Amino acid sequence: MLEYIPILIMMFLAAFIAVFIVGASHVLGHRINKKAKLSTYECGMQTIGPTRMRMNIRYYLTAMLFLIFDIEIMFLYPWAVVTKSFGLFGFIEMLVFVFILFIGYVYVWKKGALEWE
C-alpha cells in the first residue's frame, strides 16, 4: 500500500494546481462583454445568416466510425512488426481480431451508417 502514496500525492497536487489555476483566472481575469467579442468568428469572415445551425447526425456518426475503425487498424501495425516472434498463436489471435473487426464493419454497413444521402 505504501507504493501508492506517491501516486496519490501526485494526483492531489495535480488537482490542486488545476483548481488553483482556474480559480485564479476567474478571480484575476477581467471580463469584457462587447458585441464584437461575443460574435461568432470563423476564418476571418463575417458570418452570413444564422450561426447556430443544426448539423446532421450522420456527419458525427461517420466521424466516430472512422475513428473507431482507424484506431482498430492501428493495432495491426505493431503486430505486423513482431509477427514472427508470436508464431502460430499470434497469427490466429490476429485473425480472430480481424474477424471481429470485419463483423463490426458488416454490422455498420447493414445498418446503413455508411450511407450518405
CATH topology for 2-111 is Methane Monooxygenase Hydroxylase; Chain G, domain 1 (1.20.58)
C-alpha cell at 26: 476567474
Give me the pLDDT at residue 17, please.
98
Give me the pLDDT at residue 33, please.
75
Give me the pLDDT at residue 51, please.
66
Instruction: Tell me 39's DSSP state.
Output: S
Give me the pLDDT at residue 40, please.
64
- Tell me the CA distances in angstroms from 3 to 7, 11, 15, 56, one per residue in order: 8, 14, 20, 50
pLDDT per residue as tens digits for the range 66-93 = 888 888 888 888 888 888 888 899 889 9
The model's confidence at residue 111, banded by pLDDT at 50, 70 and 90, is confident
SS3 per-residue string spanning 48-91: CCCCCCCCCHHHHHHHHHHHHHHHHHHCHHHHHHCHHHHHHHHH
Give me the pLDDT at residue 9, please.
96
Q: Domain segments of the chain: what residues?
A: 2-111
Proportion of the chain in helix, strand, coil states, percent, rounded to 5: 70, 0, 25
Is residue 68 within 8 Å of 107, Cβ to Cβ?
no
Give me the pLDDT at residue 116, please.
75
What global pTM score does this model have? 0.50
pLDDT per residue as tens digits for the range 24-72 = 999 998 877 777 666 666 666 666 777 677 777 888 888 888 888 888 8
